[in-house]
Amino acid sequence: MLTKPWLDPMIVLRPVTPENYDSALELHVTPEQERFVGPVMKSLADAFIHVGAEVRMACDDDLPVGFVLIFPFELDGKPVVNIVRFLIDARYQGRGLGRESLAATLDWIRSLVPRPQRVRISTLPDNEAALALYRSMGFEDHGMEEGELALWQSLT
């Protein structure tokens, strides 16, 4: 349960550290959603292996409610970011935290140096809730890539 359900959420993205690592590992989606997003443990391993990858926990005050993994890269010589994993813990879904967390993620990405010109996110084509969120936040469909629907947003 959110600690302050009567207030609008204020999402802050926090780095995963040795002090909050266990809290990150407690974040899970519903069993039905597990086929849509990899677990936090895999995301942490991916971030360790891939140069430049970064992870953050989405927190409502001090309460971890979600998780994001990004991979910055270059495409046609221009900086872009792939949001590789994005999830809201099952206990906190349906409260607008996905929208708030994605907005905070996009703000974070805009602050990166060099500033990315585009952001990519993808999901399975039958993940209707995620697609509705991504499209409502300005992402546009760009076809199938490796079995997932890729969506892009320009930051320029």
Domain regions of the chain by residue span: 11-154
Sheet harboring 54-60: ordered strands across?
A: 11-15, 54-60, 63-75, 78-88, 118-123, 148-154, 140-145
pLDDT of residue 2: 42
Percent of the chain with pLDDT over 90: 92
pTM listed for this prediction: 0.92
Query: pLDDT by residue (tens digit) across 101-121?
Result: 999 999 999 999 999 999 999
- Band (pLDDT 50/70/90 cuts) for residue 129 is very high
pLDDT of residue 1: 39
Which one-letter amino acid corresponds to residue 34?
A: E
Report yes or no: 47 and 54 within 8 Å, Cβ to Cβ: yes
Q: What is the CATH topology of the domain spanning 11-154?
A: Aminopeptidase (3.40.630)
- Band (pLDDT 50/70/90 cuts) for residue 9 is low
Cα separations in angstroms, 51 against 54, 114, 115, 129: 9, 16, 17, 31
